Structure 1
Amino acid sequence: MKHRRDLHLLAASAAFLTLAGPALALDGADMMKKLAAATGVGGTVITFEKADVEGDTVTASGVEVGLATLPGDKLKIGDITFEGVKETEGGGYYAKSVAFPDVDMKQEEGHFSARDILVQGLTIPANAAGTTLDDILLYEIVRTGPIVFNLKGKDVFSIESTESDLGREDNGFTYDANVTGLKIDLSQVDDASAKDAIDKLGLTTLDGALTMKGSWEVESGKVAVDEYAIDFKNVGRLNLSLDFSGYTLNFMKSLQEAVKTTEANPNKEEANQAMSLAMLGMMQQLTFNSAELRFDDASITKKALDYAGSQQSVSGDQLAQSLKGLVPVMLAQLNLPELQNQISAAVNTYLDDPKSLTISA
């Protein structure tokens, strides 16, 4: 009797697991379709051949990426592996990490490569056409290793690594991005006059970094770009900060609809004109709060004055004095005496001792 009860229990358990299995299993194809829908909102087209599921890992094979505006051009990605995948409330998906294959592209004399591409904390919305924070494709961290563009056997552009972090808050997001080991080789510039200027200014090789920091308050649409800076050794650091309001989810949706309308119009000239008018209308919905542009010199100003002066058979100091007298004349057209005086005073101070120059609005 006991053995019979055990057999019944075993059969019932097996039946339960058989019925429950399909319900608990991840639907890899559905996840990829929703990912494609989410990226499609911004004009990016993702296609795939199949999506295999093993536990909480989804492997999408035959992935290709393109732009809706360029239907004939697609980048073959290959296999993408999503690990730690789970379905979220409402039918979306969350992946703990997403690993991409290395990119290695060759065309004529050019060679582009990008390695160690990884996304962490990817949230795929169930309904990308919605108007809430839960309807946006989000990530927590995006990292890459070396990125190199090689031309005629020489690395003309390279990056050691990149990292972008996105922080979700109750009222919006914060973001922080860094590009390290940014190198640009200008030694292969062919134009004789440009090459002469590059050599004399010491710009044959540029070595620097790029940083970005900011936030977005979704309800008010307030976007604060606290830092957007590029810093090159022996040149200087240029930083832009910007603050404006009105960039809400509804504004984003209007912008996306305008882009879709433009893409659907076969008459590209007419479509571009309509898009320009639409952009002018949408820009009026934004409110400018503040902006600042700052340059911290790292020796390039003196070199630039000396070089420009040599082209006019004068010294760098003589050219600087000429600029001091020219600036007020150029600004007189503005007919804003107070602003003219502020700018002239700032330019004079900078030319006398180049350290930093800030333009604020």
Structure 2
Amino acid sequence: MMSAKRPRIGAGLATLLLASCLSGAAFAAAPTGNPIADAFLAGLEARGFKDVTVESVTGDSDTAELKGIRAVEDRPAPPPAEAATPDEAKPDAAAPDEAKPDEATGDSGGDDGGSESADGGATGQAAPAEPATPPAPPPAPMVLTVNHLLIDNAGVDGGRIKAGVFNADGLSFVDDESKLTVGSLAASDIEIPSADSVKSGDDLNKAQALYKQVTISDVLATDKDGFAVPVKTITASTDDIVDGIPHSGAFAASGIVIDVNQVADQDFKKELLALGYTTLNLSVSAKGAWHPDKSSATIDQLEVNADGIGSLTLTSEIGGLSKEAVAALSDPAQSDKSDAVIQGLTLEKMTITFKNQTLVQRVLEAQAKDAGVSADVYASQLAAAMPMLLMPLKNPEFQNTTAAAISTFLKDPKTLTVTASPEQGLSVMEIFGAAMFGPEHLPQMLKASVAANR
């Protein structure tokens, strides 16, 4: 899909657009005279954009309407590669020892010109230094444009904007590797941080844009090879904001369309086409909450749906997310603590459900065709083999119940649900260690169960 360096379509897109559009660039133009527009543009300056221009600014004490915004964000050049260090001078291993008088003949054994290697090169000299690698050119700048921006029912306090309405139309983010365009963005009950808060970095919460709800429409992401992914609608909402941190929220994206023929992974593309999928139409939704009093977070729903394939839904409760842990995960300055925090997170419970549409039938039919049998016969053969396939787990009770559930699902593929409900929270390190060195213990540790068609 898109390069890892490019904006990704997914749960982070609303945040990306808000961060970039609401307070994302540098402004060096003269004040516009509108306090709301000036605060907004100063916030752009604080985040590293330059050469900001605005075609026109109108409004009054609680409104700003900006047209034709353009800003350029320079990207820093990558650090230069270390110069190659030539090897120390070493005698040629294949060269003869230093010439000595021949004890048998008295011959001096050579002239005064010094020894040479078989290919005529002088021995005992340093290898030539490799030519220095020229420094990589800096990445092309990213250009942000916004056709129209309306900030209404707004006020400015210490450079921080609070607005009831934030509507933008005709947004684009373009560099030499990708292009992201957005038809419209509409946010309500929004707070845009002041330039001073962004520059200082002392309080990350004060440097983040906050919103009650945002709707983004008609997104199109295109990479340099022409691979394009449209997204019809993205919505996001936050609630229970305390000290600048939302404690609950929801996200949804629909109308994500992928042309299978444009998929870069040739093996994956071949498999999808063989199953009869030429277009993937996806949707994603999520909602959850953080409970600082319990040092935990709940994923009430995380669902990925693909038309004609099926849906995958996850619910979970994660422990170990204290205020200090969340601060460490959110603050780049505390990145050295992130690994320890992640390792200390605990799984309290989790449920994963796959709801089949046509994927299982298509896979069974394809594999049955290769085996020279019918799909029903192939499914029965797989079901009969399940107990043996699960024997490495060395857990007869889990093997039997799981084999029965998978057998039911294969014969009538509707839903398959995996549940984990450990008696007490298991840390990431405990789960990882068991998976690596004693996978047969995992079902008992997790109190795992598998059920079909419920």
Distance in 2 separating the partners of 1:219 and 1:352 = 46
- SS of aligned partner of 1:311: helix
Matched residue of 2:184: which SS?
A: coil
Paired position in structure 1 for 2:156 = 87
Q: Could you say what secondary structure the match of 1:160 adopts?
A: strand
Determine the C-alpha separation between the residues in 1 that align with 2:176 and 2:263: 20
1:72 aligns with one of 139, 145, 163:
139
Structure 2 segments unaligned to the other structure (5+ residues): 1-30, 79-137, 421-454
The question of 1:141 aligning with 2:213 is answered yes
Q: 1:49 aligns with which of 45, 49, 52?
A: 52
Change (3 A) 1:181 1:314: same
Question: Which has the greater radius of gyration?
Answer: 2
Q: Residue 315 of structure 2: which of 226, 238, 241 is its match?
A: 241
Matched letter for residue 139 of structure 1: Y
Unaligned runs of 5+ in 1: 1-21, 263-274
| Pairwise CA distance, 1:247 | 3.2
Match of 1:204 in 2: 278
2:170 matched to which residue of 1?
101
Q: Give CA-to-partner distance per residue, 1:221-255, whole Å, 9 cap, x none.
A: 43222112122222211112222133344324323
> Shift of residue 46 of structure 1?
4.9
Structure ranking higher in helix proportion: 1
1:77 and 1:101 in contact (8 A); partners too: no
Counterparts of 2:341 and 2:259, CA distance in 1: 40
Question: Is the partner of 2:253 in helix, strand or coil?
Answer: strand
Secondary structure at 2:390 match in 1: helix
Letter in 1 for 2:375: G
The Cα of 1:174 is off from its aligned counterpart by: 2.7
Q: Write the distance in 2 (CA, Å) between the matches of 1:152 and 1:72.
A: 14
- Does structure 1 residue 62 correspond to structure 2 residue 64? no
Q: Give the letter for the 1:143 counterpart.
A: T
3-state SS, counterpart of residue 308 of structure 1: helix
Asked if 1:255 corresponds to 2:323, the answer is no
Mapping for residues 163-202 of structure 1, pairs under 5 Å: 163-168=235-240, 172-188=246-262, 197-202=271-276
Deviations 1:99-141 (A, max 9, x none): 2533275969x87543113333321345464669666431122
Could you tell me which residue of structure 2 aligns to residue 346 of structure 1?
405
Per the alignment, residue 343 of structure 2 pairs with 284
Structure 1 Cα separation of the partners of residues 285 and 302 of structure 2: 6
Cα distance, 1:115–1:30 mapped onto 2, change above 3 Å? closer
Q: Aligned-pair distance for 1:352?
A: 1.6
Q: Deviations over 1:34-92 (max 9, x none)?
A: 5676xx6xxxx55563686843317494334577898735421124735123124x653
Q: Supply the distance in 1 between the matched residues of 2:279 and 2:221 (Cα, whole angstroms).
A: 15
Given the alignment of the two structures, is residue 162 of structure 1 paired with residue 234 of structure 2, yes or no?
Answer: yes
Give distance in 1, aligned partners of 2:76 and 2:220: 26
Give the corresponding residue for 2:419.
360
Partners of 1:64 and 1:219 lie apart in 2 by 43
The answer for the alignment partner of 1:115 in structure 2 is 183
Displacement of 1:305? 0.7
Following the alignment from structure 1 to structure 2, what is the Cα–Cα distance between the partners of residues 47 and 317? 64
Q: Which residue of 2 aligns with 1:226?
A: 300
Write out per-residue CA displacement over residues 289-339 of structure 1, whole angstroms, 9 at most, x where no aligned residue: 222211111122111111122233333233323332443334333333333
Q: 2:367 is matched with which residue?
A: 308
SS of 1:354's equivalent in the other structure is coil
TM-score, normalised via structure 1 length: 0.70
Q: What's 1:214 paired with?
A: 288
What residue number does 2:131 align with? Answer: none
What value does the CA root-mean-square deviation take over the aligned residues? Answer: 4.0
SS at match of 1:306: helix
Structure 1 letter corresponding to 2:383: K
Partner of 1:12: none
Given residue 204 of structure 1, which amino acid in structure 2 is its aligned partner? T
Instruction: Tell me if the contact between 1:239 and 1:294 (Cα under 8 Å) persists in the aligned partners.
Output: yes
| Structure richer in strand, relative to its length | 1
Aligned in 2, Cα 1:111/1:91: closer, same or farther, shift over 3 Å? Answer: closer
* Greater alpha carbon shift after TM alignment, 176-185 vs 246-255: 246-255
Once the two structures are superposed, residues 140-168 of structure 1 have per-residue CA deviations (whole angstroms, 9 ceiling, x without a partner) of: 22222212356899985322222112223
**Contact kept in structure 1, 2:36 and 2:155, CA below 8 Å:** no
Length, aligned pairs only = 316
Alpha-carbon distance between aligned partners in 1 of 2:295 and 2:41, rounded to the nearest angstrom: 30
| TM-score scaled by length of structure 2 | 0.57
SS state at 2:372 partner? coil
Q: Is the 8 Å Cα contact of residues 131 and 250 (structure 1) preserved in structure 2?
A: no
Q: Percent identity?
A: 20
One-letter amino acid matched to 2:52: E
> CA–CA distance in 1 between the matches of 2:140 and 2:348?
40
How far 1:282 sits from its partner (Å)?
1.4
Deviations 1:244-299 (A, max 9, x none): 13334432432344x4577xxxxxxxxxxxx6xx5431113423222221111112
Residue type of the alignment partner of 1:62: R
